[in-house]
Every structure is written in C-alpha cells, then in structure tokens.
Structure 1
Amino acid sequence: MDHDQNFKNLILDYPRQALELFAAAEAEALDATVQITPVRQEQLKERLGERFRELDVPLQVQWPDGRREAILFVVEEESEPGRFSLHRLAHYCLDLSELLDCDRVVPVVVFLRRGRRRERLALGGERHTYLSFHYLACVLPELSFEQYRDSPNIVARLNLPNMRHASGQRVEVYAQAVRGLTELEPHPEKQLKYLDFVDIYAGLDEAERARYQEEYREEAEKMSTFAERFRQQGMQQGEAQVLLRQMTRRFGPLPEPVRQRIETADAEQLLEWSERVLTAASAEEVLN
C-alpha cells in the first residue's frame, strides 16, 4: 500500500483542512484570506548523479495583503515511526528554506502508527547549541475518534479509521467517515476517490461489512448505487471518446451536433454506432 501517495492526494485536494488537522498549533493563525499553494518537492541537485531529496507535500501559505511573511509547511506522512529520519527532514527543510528564501518553515510529520521516534535534533559543542530542530507530530492513533466523529473538517472525517477507537466501534467509525465524505464533499469524482481511501484504512472484514449493510442500510444502498452509476458513467464516457476518435480519423473533424449526440448516448447506442464506423460513408450515416 502506497500510503505516501494516498496522503499526498489528500493533502493536495484539501490543503487547508489538512493543515488544520495535522498542524493545528500553527494553523490557528491562518485566516480565510490566506492562499495555500503546493511548491516543488524535488530539490536542485548539487551533482547530476545524485538522487533527489523528496518528501510528501510542501505547502506555501501567503497573505495576499502582505501583512505577514509567507509560511512554508513541509508535510510528510510516515507509516513506520522507526523508519523516520529526523536528519533527512531537517536537511530537506533547510534546502527548501534556501531555495524559496523563506525563514518561516513548519515541519509536520503525520504518523500512521505509534512507535518510538526521534523528536529533536541539536547540534553543538561544549558551550553552545548551534542548530536546534524539531517538528510538529500528528500521531493519528493518538487522536480520539469520539472527538472528531462529527467534525466539519473532511480530512479529519476521512481519517477516522486511523484514529483511536475500540474494536467494537469499527463499523460505526466507517459509517461516520463515509457520512462525512458525502456531507462535506459535493463532487462525485472526489466522493468516489475518497470512498476508496476510507475503505483502505477502515479495512472491514466480511462480517463487519455485513453489519454496516444492515445497520446503515439506507446510506449503504445510496453509496453502492452512486458508485456503480458513476463507474458506468465513466465507462460510457470512455467508449464515447473512443468512438469520437475513430470517426474523426475516418471522416475528419466532426460537426458539434454529432459530437454532442455521441457524448450523451448510452452504452448500447454507442456499441451500435461503433459497429457501423467501418462501413458507413459519412458520420451522419453512422448515427442514422
């Protein structure tokens, strides 16, 4: 499972909500006017043969009126605390600070699991510490499901399965995460995308899925119907695009009314038209 990619998508799709959950101590200062922009992850190489230092998602927060300096949030997801490298994170933050000429940098690490991890780096000699570095840690299993079960923050709701809860609450946790997704995300594409996210981290077994279907029957049927309808719609759109390409190659640029008929046709009609492409003399003959 590529947890890095899962969380990278989550943070890029919902940057403000991600900072509000994962970097709560610093996010309090971010008002509604701030602009949040992802910045490049790969740092310039000192030598071309070297590998890039790349973490998950740097987000630059700017105040349009200029009343405050920009802040750079460096957000990293770490599945196993034992594999976390504090030196690597510090090096990356220094690189970004130099590249973007920004001294206001907030390192944030999201841990999927509990475990021992190094929290602070101090470099110095007998008399002084010359470099002191630490980071904000969001350990998801240490957050309480009960605290976030009705949260208006979609990133929190999607991560309910990763938060602390009793084993007997797994179905309830899943239901609250799915409910949050449907209530807080209006776009069908993202609903389907993050239904997969909830499924992955909830990890319900067959018995628990059966309980969910029984105890939350109306919601379960609604999401199942929606997912199937959306997948069918995606298949129809793909078939329409294939037919459009075939007809354009055979007959040249298509009139807009022809394109519209193809794009709005159902799967059965598209199949019938696709069978005529090779024998018809014109685009109109295919459709008629």
Structure 2
Amino acid sequence: MSHDQNFKNLILDYPRAALEFFASEEAAAIPPAARITPVRQEQLKERLGDRFRELDTPLLVEFSREKKQAILFILEEETDTRYFSIHRLIHYCVDVADLLNITRVAPVVVFLRPGRHPLSLELGTEHNIYLAFRFIACDLGEIPAIEYVASRNIVARVNLPNMRHDPEQRVEIYLRAQEGLAELEPDPNKRLKYIDFIAQYANLNESEQ
C-alpha cells in the first residue's frame, strides 16, 4: 500500500486524533461534541473532475448546526518534499471551498521525509499583496520521537518510527509505538492493521527484530 493510502486510512480511522497531532494549533479549539466527517469523495470527483486528487483527505468539523461555525481541514500527505506544490494545494483548497461554500479552511500538509519546502506564497506587486496563502506543515522527520513515546494520541504513537530519533533507538521506538497501539486501540482488527503500519515505517532489519 502507498504512503498516501496509509495516511489516508490513518486519518479516516482516527480523525480527531489526526487533527490534534497534525494540526494542533487549530484543533485545540475543537470542542469535544464537535462532529468530524470526511467529505464524500464521489461528490468531489464529480464536481472537480481532473483537478480532484483522490488521496487528499478533507474533513469537515462542525461545531454546531450553524454552518458558519464549521471548519474544513484539508489534509495532504507528501512523502518527498521535492514533489510538493503549494500552487496545487492552493487550487485544491479554493476548489473545495467553492464547492462546499465555506471560507473557514485549514490546509494541512504532513511531510513524511525531511526536506526543504515553502511555507507560504504571496502574489502581488511592489505596491500590494493580492493573494497570501500559508498552510500548517507537520514535518514528521523533524519532530523528536522522545516527546511522544508516552503520548495518549494514537496517531502520534503509531508515527513514532517516522519521527526523529537516533539509529540506536530504532528498536525502542518501535516497541513504544506497538505498546501505544495495544493500549489505545481496543478493536483487534484495527490493532492488526496498524501493527503493520508501524512495522512498515520502523523497517527493522533481521538482527533488530
């Protein structure tokens, strides 16, 4: 399975935990009773056509029955920063915002591997800025794994192998990720699913297993 699909499944299985980890600065304002639902991909595909990227994951967070209280989180996983396009992300955000008639949008990009990438884009002249865009960047490879080894956030725990750690810590990080999964996920089917996720990204050699 591709990295994109791995992270899409993770976000859809644990939407609140994903937002709290990948987009903590915005997720802190989400009340416990908020409703979090994925936007139907069939709807996006039909309306956006070739511009639709099936592996993007839009989540609609509704604070109340009033639509003006909703926030649309658009999450994208990018394995290699070289292939990230902020222009493509802008197009997608604007398209989906227009489709859903919403202006409260929070774009989030999860970078799997460390690397350089833009954080914002401004279009204009020396007199005025006519378009200013930025997004929440979650650079997994830059996050110290040690800060999350005891986290109660399941998305953080299963991603421990993707965070920054010393080579000699690989086995310990793998074990702490698996322990977290066992502690935080009561569903045996989901545990099996994410045991493989952790193993894939830990990528231990024979002597480490």
TM-score normalised by the shorter chain: which range applies?
Answer: over 0.9
Which structure ranks higher in relative contact order (CA pairs < 8 Å, sequence separation ≥ 6)? 2
The one-character-per-residue Cα deviations of 1:211-249 (angstroms, maximum 9, x if unpaired) are xxxxxxxxxxxxxxxxxxxxxxxxxxxxxxxxxxxxxxx
Q: Secondary structure at the match of 1:106?
A: strand
Aligned mates of 1:197, 1:38 — CA distance in 2: 21
**Matched residues, number:** 206
More helix by share: 1
Shift of 1:125: 2.4
Shift of 1:65: 5.1
Aligned mates of 1:119, 1:32 — CA distance in 2: 30
Residue in 2 aligned with 1:237?
A: none
Residue in 1 aligned with 2:142?
A: 142
Q: Secondary structure at the match of 2:69?
A: coil
Residue in 2 aligned with 1:78?
A: 78
Q: Is 1:204 paired with 2:189?
A: no
Task: Give the structure-1-normalised TM-score.
Answer: 0.69
Uncovered stretches (5+) of structure 1, i.e. residues with no partner: 210-288
1:21-170 correspondence to structure 2 within 5 Å: 21-41=21-41, 42-44=44-46, 51-54=50-53, 55-64=55-64, 66=66, 69-170=69-170
Cα pair 2:51 2:92 within 8 Å, conserved: no
Cα pair 2:64 2:70 within 8 Å, conserved: no
Task: Give the structure-2-normalised TM-score.
Answer: 0.94
User: Aligned partner of 1:88: which letter?
Assistant: R
Cα pair 1:43 1:95 within 8 Å, conserved: no
The one-character-per-residue Cα deviations of 1:24-43 (angstroms, maximum 9, x if unpaired) are 11011011010000003434
In the superposition, relative to structure 1, how do residues 101 and 67 fare at CA in structure 2: closer, same or farther (>3 Å)? closer
User: Aligned partner of 2:188: which letter?
Assistant: P
Aligned mates of 2:173, 2:68 — CA distance in 1: 39
User: Aligned partner of 1:152: which letter?
Assistant: R
The one-character-per-residue Cα deviations of 1:137-176 (angstroms, maximum 9, x if unpaired) are 0000111111100100000000000001111111100100
Aligned mates of 2:163, 2:16 — CA distance in 1: 20
Aligned mates of 1:126, 1:94 — CA distance in 2: 25
Aligned mates of 1:123, 1:137 — CA distance in 2: 20
Aligned mates of 1:30, 1:164 — CA distance in 2: 28
Shift of 1:45: 5.1
Cα pair 1:119 1:135 within 8 Å, conserved: yes
Aligned mates of 1:45, 1:178 — CA distance in 2: 41
The one-character-per-residue Cα deviations of 1:52-97 (angstroms, maximum 9, x if unpaired) are 4214200000013549610000000000001001000000000011
User: Aligned partner of 2:147: which letter?
Assistant: Q
Who wins on radius of gyration, i.e. which is larger? Answer: 1
Aligned mates of 2:111, 2:176 — CA distance in 1: 22
User: Aligned partner of 2:52: which letter?
Assistant: R
Runs of 4+ off more than 4 Å: 43-46
Aligned mates of 2:67, 2:82 — CA distance in 1: 40
In the superposition, relative to structure 1, how do residues 104 and 43 fare at CA in structure 2: closer, same or farther (>3 Å)? farther
CA-based RMSD of the aligned residues comes to 1.6
Question: Percentage identity across aligned positions?
Answer: 54
Aligned mates of 1:68, 1:161 — CA distance in 2: 38
Cα pair 1:45 1:52 within 8 Å, conserved: no
Aligned mates of 1:53, 1:117 — CA distance in 2: 22
Aligned mates of 1:196, 1:52 — CA distance in 2: 32
Cα pair 1:43 1:96 within 8 Å, conserved: no
Aligned mates of 2:13, 2:139 — CA distance in 1: 21
More strand by share: 2
Aligned mates of 1:43, 1:93 — CA distance in 2: 14
Aligned mates of 1:30, 1:72 — CA distance in 2: 12
In the superposition, relative to structure 1, how do residues 145 and 172 fare at CA in structure 2: closer, same or farther (>3 Å)? same
Aligned mates of 2:39, 2:97 — CA distance in 1: 12
